[in-house]
Amino acid sequence: MSKPNFKPYTSPAGGWGSAYSVANILIRQKVSPRNAALLLKQNKAVEGFACVSCAWAKPHPAKPLEFCENGAKATAWENTSQRCGPDFFARHSVTELLNWADFDLERQGRLTHPMRYDPASDRYQPVSWDEAFEEIGRELKAMADPNEVVFYMSGRASLETAYAFSILARMYGTNNLPDSSNMCHESTSIALPESIGVPVATVTLHDMKKMDGMLFFGQNTGTSSPRMLHQLQEARERGAPIITFNPIRERGLERFANPQSPAEMVTPKETVISTQYHQLQIGGDIAAIAGMCKALFDLDDQAIAAGSRRVLDVAFIEQHTHGFEDFERKVRGYDWKQLERRSGLTRGAMEAAARSYASCERVIAAYGMGLTQHRYGVQTIQMLVNLLLLRGNMGKEGAGILPVRGHSNVQGQRTVGITEKAAKAPADNLRRQFGFEPPSEDGVNTVEACEGILAGRIKGFVAMGGNFVRAVPDTLQMEPAWRRMRLSVQVSTKLNRTHLITGQVSYILPCLGRTEIDRQATGEQYNTTEDSTGCIRAWRGVATPAHEGLLSEPAIVARLAKAALAPNPKLDWDAWVADYNLIRDAIAESYPDIFHDFNVRMMEPGGFHRPLGVSKREWATETGKANFINPPSLSEDPDTEKGGHERRDVLQLMTLRSNDQFNTTVYGYNDRFRGINGTRAVIMMNRNDIGRLGLAEGDKVEAITVTDDGVHRVVAPLRVTPYDIPEGCCAGYYPECNALLPIWHHAERSKVPAAKSIPVKLRKMLHLTDRSSVPIEPLPPAGAA
Ligand SMILES: Nc1nc2c(c(=O)[nH]1)N[C@H]1C(S)=C(S)[C@@H](COP(=O)(O)OP(=O)(O)OC[C@H]3O[C@@H](n4cnc5c(=O)[nH]c(N)nc54)[C@H](O)[C@@H]3O)O[C@H]1N2
Ligand SMILES: Nc1nc2c(c(=O)[nH]1)N[C@H]1C(S)=C(S)[C@@H](COP(=O)(O)OP(=O)(O)OC[C@H]3O[C@@H](n4cnc5c(=O)[nH]c(N)nc54)[C@H](O)[C@@H]3O)O[C@H]1N2
Ligand SMILES: [Mo]
């Protein structure tokens, strides 16, 4: 770790900084030149692999180098030559490893052997695969009720793995299938079906080419989905305005130089991405969008008076929408002063945004965690749809709504059965295909799983990827509760903190990564994924597996199923593992509308898209129309209504990703674009707040959550770091700040943890020894590589 330093980053996103950063991680992760050449196969269907980083769409035909800085980092991270095997676990007790930071744990390299925790020696010890499955099967069979077990899925595994995992859970007898999207875009999955009748994006890459304007809310493209910058750059070159709403100025949304364009690398050409950049208050989005809607009504009134073309798409509203009159009344009734106070923007700014929006004919609205992770996340997304509907920007070429997904297959796993909602499983088809009765009771989502663990109701946890304990809220309550569980099984590629929070019986089961060759009895296997634009494609790993003993994820699911379930004459798990085509045939039978002829269509160049009625202006909603839905209030958080957060010493904290991490995987300590280097233990604050609270730059503070539930939540020490962020708002890093996030502080209805608006107070620390109990950057421990 280099000495911390803080200076504004002055270059564009991409460019040479990006090229250096890729080279750096290839060297630090000791990636062999052969594996570095893997980058040439990245995002090349069919004979290449889908990037393991984000879910952004992969163009067809692909460019020679179809990857970004963060995709390259993710590939390097998976293809490191470092190994974390039995000798490592023999050297380090679990108690010792609990003092290591996330970065030090994962960088030990790829897990190679199935390991079982031995409480007597406080160490993980190697076991054979047979022993592991035999004991896990026995434990699962011994549970009193299948609903005592949770089957969690992070969003990286393939459609084949996800489908098989969902069948395993349902045959076991539970719909306890929470997943990472419960912490992510579940707000989308609740909001969009009510508004427009689909749970996913309505746009494709083709629409990105055709749009002539874009609205961008709470998504940090330069870090979270950098390949999208290419489409944004092209849009800007066509003259399309991009209007951005974000409390902080994210570099990727300001300026971009294409690191893959030799011309742009030599001559300092860079593209200005956002034509307007509105630094609204955290959670100010409903009010800001309401302001734009109000301004559109004003513009429309002016157009009527002048006899010019209407600003509202009256024909579309008439023919295709429901609830317009109510919505119009509500919006016209808003008071500009209140809109200004709630959004943190001036009336002039909201009107300027509305004018720019009204000047475009085909607009896409994109958003990310800045909208979904709020108490009123669902309502904010519906408000954004309202804004699109006013000008008919739905169901036409170049227009629509674009939730930018997180994990590379998180959308897909939901499509093939990873859901806790009984009604969403294709029960009739499952009955016919496999002759079993799928459970009819809803299972738990992520927040409910945590509640169950805290209450002692959940006794077993099987995770297909992810780092659950680290990713969820209330770290300090969750860790001790987790230890009381009977069984914890983690299918993983890298060591993480969840492995160290052991249950009575704990296993780490190491698996192949997506970039690796997956050879089974019938030969090398394809796997499939669905991206943010609903495009489904086949891929094939190309790297030599990290260890010859690793099993593929479908193989691990099958072995778990054979160990835990009674044999089923209609499901031959071994045959599925031998030939993934058979799993895909089963997917096609369960979900024929989307996956008919799956094995053929997955090979089409560029893959195939899931059908979307919206593109034909067919609305699968209760009203049969696209619905205008009124927001319950102008703020993102029902508690704000009570005036609680406006107390002067309370700040709203948003927890963010740095440029050097993938979720809980920390690649390094540099957040280049934000100019924060060498540390993650920071709190970014407005200078006026720093002065007002009697603090100074560089002070060490503890952050304490302001709640009235009697639980003391604290993270420390954090360095006071001045930042261009609105007054009353502050920012820190996820997952270090998760101890501040109460489990009950989540979006209404979707239960996505409200990680972007945590009310906190700061207290200056006089004694730096009083740190919180989860390590943020301990000194590199003895023995860490
Ligand atoms: N390199 C990299 N790529 C990733 C990930 C990663 O960790 N690293 N994670 C993946 C996953 S799982 C996901 S879900 C996505 C996440 O990608 P994003 O959706 O970009 O999520 P965050 O990085 O948490 O940042 C959200 C953005 O919202 C802004 N924001 C916060 N609060 C508000 C608000 O109230 N209003 C508005 N308008 N904006 C706000 C923040 O300033 C920030 O720019 O990225 C995926 N891709
Ligand atoms: N405060 C706060 N909390 C948040 C968020 C936030 O913005 N703020 N964001 C939320 C979001 S959007 C998400 S998606 C969740 C993420 O939550 P998770 O998906 O649970 O977490 P990850 O950090 O993505 O999981 C990393 C681990 O996955 C394993 N892994 C990596 N690749 C593979 C693979 O190919 N197969 C298998 N089996 N395992 C693999 C590795 O062992 C690695 O340690 O966190 C959520 N938590
Ligand atoms: Mo996510």
How confident is the model over 642-675, as pLDDT tens digits? Answer: 554 456 799 999 999 999 999 999 999 999 899 9
490 Cβ inside 6 Å of ligand 2: no
Class of 193-404 per CATH? Answer: alpha beta
What spacing in Å lies between the alpha carbon of 492 and ligand 2's midpoint? 11
What spacing in Å lies between the alpha carbon of 180 and ligand 2's midpoint? 7
| CA 6 to centroid of chain Cα atoms | 27
Ligand 1 atom with minimal separation from the 180 CA: 12
* pLDDT at 15 > cutoff 80: no
How much is the pLDDT for 781? 42
Of the candidates 326, 393, 337, the residue with the CA atom closest to the CA atom of residue 360: 393
Alpha-carbon distance 513 to 689, whole Å? 45
User: Which ligand lies nearest the alpha carbon of 73?
Assistant: 1
What spacing in Å lies between the alpha carbon of 414 and ligand 2's midpoint? 16
**Are 107 and 81 within 8 A, CB to CB?**
no
How much is the pLDDT for 2? 66
Ligand 1 atom with minimal separation from the 374 CA: 35
What spacing in Å lies between the alpha carbon of 716 and ligand 2's midpoint? 23
User: Which ligand lies nearest the alpha carbon of 68?
Assistant: 1
User: Which ligand lies nearest the alpha carbon of 662?
Assistant: 1
Which residues, chain by chain, have CB under 5 Å from ion ligand 3?
A: 184, 406
Mean pLDDT score of the chain: 92
Out of 467, 470, 654, 760, mutate this one to test ligand 2's pocket (max ligand atoms within 8 Å of CB): namely 467
How much is the pLDDT for 14? 74
What spacing in Å lies between the alpha carbon of 157 and ligand 1's midpoint? 21
pLDDT tens column, 423-472? 999 999 999 999 999 999 999 999 999 999 999 999 999 999 999 999 99
- Phi/psi of residue 691, nearest 5 degrees: -65, -45
User: Which ligand lies nearest the alpha carbon of 752?
Assistant: 2
How much is the pLDDT for 49? 82
How much is the pLDDT for 539? 92
| CA 444 to centroid of chain Cα atoms | 19
Ligand 1 atom with minimal separation from the 369 CA: 19
CA terminus-to-terminus distance, the chain: 12
pLDDT tens column, 316-362? 999 999 999 999 999 999 999 999 999 999 999 999 999 999 999 99
Ligand 1 atom with minimal separation from the 404 CA: 19
Name which of 74-83, 302-311, 575-584 the model is least confident about: 74-83
- Residue 611 contacts by C-beta under 8 Å, 6 or more apart in sequence? 593, 594
113 Cβ inside 6 Å of ligand 2: no
How much is the pLDDT for 785? 38
Ligand 2 atom with minimal separation from the 665 CA: 23
223 Cβ inside 6 Å of ligand 2: no
* Cα–Cα distances in angstroms (integers) from residue 78 to residues 53, 469, 537, in the given order: 11, 21, 21
> Can you tell me which residue has the tokens 């959308």?
411
* Protein residue with its CA nearest to atom 35 in ligand 2: 513
* pLDDT at 696 > cutoff 50: yes
Out of 372, 493, 512, mutate this one to test ligand 2's pocket (max ligand atoms within 8 Å of CB): namely 493
What spacing in Å lies between the alpha carbon of 53 and ligand 3's midpoint? 11
Alpha-carbon distance 530 to 537, whole Å? 7
The residue that leads in pLDDT, 753 or 3, is 753
How much is the pLDDT for 482? 98
* Cα–Cα distances in angstroms (integers) from residue 370 to residues 218, 285, 309, 657, in the given order: 4, 9, 34, 12
How much is the pLDDT for 784? 42
Ligand 1 atom with minimal separation from the 663 CA: 7
Please state the rounded mean pLDDT for residues 683-696: 97
3.40.50.300, 2.102.10.10, 2.40.40.20, 2.40.37.10: CATH of 651-764: 2.40.40.20
Please state the rounded mean pLDDT for residues 290-309: 98
What spacing in Å lies between the alpha carbon of 612 and ligand 3's midpoint? 23
Q: Where in the chain are the domains?
A: 10-78, 83-184+416-605, 193-404, 651-764
What spacing in Å lies between the alpha carbon of 562 and ligand 3's midpoint? 31
- Single-letter residue type at 775: P
* pLDDT at 259 > cutoff 60: yes
529 Cβ inside 6 Å of ligand 2: no
- Cα dihedral sign, 700-706-708-713: negative
Name which of 251-255, 350-354, 697-701, 729-733 the model is least confident about: 251-255
Reduce the DSSP state of residue 289 to 3 states and report it: helix
Ligand 1 shell residues, CB under 6 Å: 53-54, 70, 184, 217-220, 223-225, 245-248, 250, 282-283, 285, 368-370, 406-407, 654, 656-657, 661-663, 756
Please state the rounded mean pLDDT for residues 488-516: 97
189 Cβ inside 6 Å of ligand 2: no
How much is the pLDDT for 606? 87
* pLDDT at 575 > cutoff 60: yes
User: Which ligand lies nearest the alpha carbon of 664?
Assistant: 2
How much is the pLDDT for 45? 67
User: Which ligand lies nearest the alpha carbon of 408?
Assistant: 1
**Are 103 and 668 within 8 A, CB to CB?**
yes
- Cα dihedral sign, 471-715-680-497: negative
* Protein residue with its CA nearest to atom 32 in ligand 1: 370
Reduce the DSSP state of residue 64 to 3 states and report it: coil
Ligand 2 atom with minimal separation from the 467 CA: 20
**Are 215 and 250 within 8 A, CB to CB?**
no
pLDDT tens column, 389-415? 999 999 999 999 999 999 989 999 999
* pLDDT at 129 > cutoff 60: yes
- Phi/psi of residue 461, nearest 5 degrees: -140, 120
Alpha-carbon distance 360 to 200, whole Å? 23
- Residue 537 contacts by C-beta under 8 Å, 6 or more apart in sequence? 45, 46, 50, 58, 528, 529, 531, 602, 606, 607, 608
Of the candidates 379, 376, 385, the residue with the CA atom closest to the CA atom of residue 324: 385
Q: Are strands 758-764 and 700-705 parallel, antiparallel or unpaired?
A: antiparallel
At residue 252 the predicted structure's pLDDT band, cuts being 50, 70 and 90, is confident
Ligand 2 atom with minimal separation from the 498 CA: 44
What spacing in Å lies between the alpha carbon of 121 and ligand 3's midpoint? 36
Ligand 1 atom with minimal separation from the 73 CA: 1
- Single-letter residue type at 367: Y
Q: Given 3-state DSSP classes, what are the helix, strand and coil percentages for the chain, each rounded to the nearest 5?
A: 40, 20, 45
How much is the pLDDT for 779? 46
What spacing in Å lies between the alpha carbon of 43 and ligand 3's midpoint? 20
What spacing in Å lies between the alpha carbon of 770 and ligand 2's midpoint? 29
757 Cβ inside 6 Å of ligand 2: no
Out of 183, 187, 215, 246, mutate this one to test ligand 1's pocket (max ligand atoms within 8 Å of CB): namely 246
Beta strands in 173-236 (DSSP E): 213-217
Helices 446-455 and 475-483: crossing angle, nearest 10°? 60
User: CA torsion angle for 774, 778, 780, 782 (degrees, to 10)?
Assistant: -70
At residue 267 the predicted structure's pLDDT band, cuts being 50, 70 and 90, is low
Q: What is the DSSP letter of 781?
A: P
Ligand 2 atom with minimal separation from the 78 CA: 32
| CA 318 to centroid of chain Cα atoms | 36
Alpha-carbon distance 574 to 577, whole Å? 5
What spacing in Å lies between the alpha carbon of 681 and ligand 1's midpoint? 19
* pLDDT at 262 > cutoff 80: no
Burial of 348 (0-12, 13-18, 19+ CB in 10 A): exposed
CB atoms within 10 A of CB 672: 22
What spacing in Å lies between the alpha carbon of 660 and ligand 1's midpoint? 13
Alpha-carbon distance 342 to 356, whole Å? 22
3.40.50.740, 1.10.8.10, 3.40.830.10, 3.40.50.20: CATH of 83-184+416-605: 3.40.50.740
**Are 195 and 382 within 8 A, CB to CB?**
yes
How much is the pLDDT for 23? 74
* Protein residue with its CA nearest to atom 40 in ligand 1: 370
- Single-letter residue type at 727: E
Ligand 1 atom with minimal separation from the 245 CA: 38
Alpha-carbon distance 140 to 133, whole Å? 10
At residue 479 the predicted structure's pLDDT band, cuts being 50, 70 and 90, is very high
655 Cβ inside 6 Å of ligand 2: yes
- Would you state the structure tokens that stand for residue 713, as one six-digit string? 């939540």
How much is the pLDDT for 782? 43
> Can you tell me which residue has the tokens 């290591």?
100
- Would you state the structure tokens that stand for residue 506, as one six-digit string? 């704990």
**Are 218 and 367 within 8 A, CB to CB?**
yes
How much is the pLDDT for 84? 98
* pLDDT at 776 > cutoff 70: no
Out of 54, 224, 345, mutate this one to test ligand 1's pocket (max ligand atoms within 8 Å of CB): namely 224
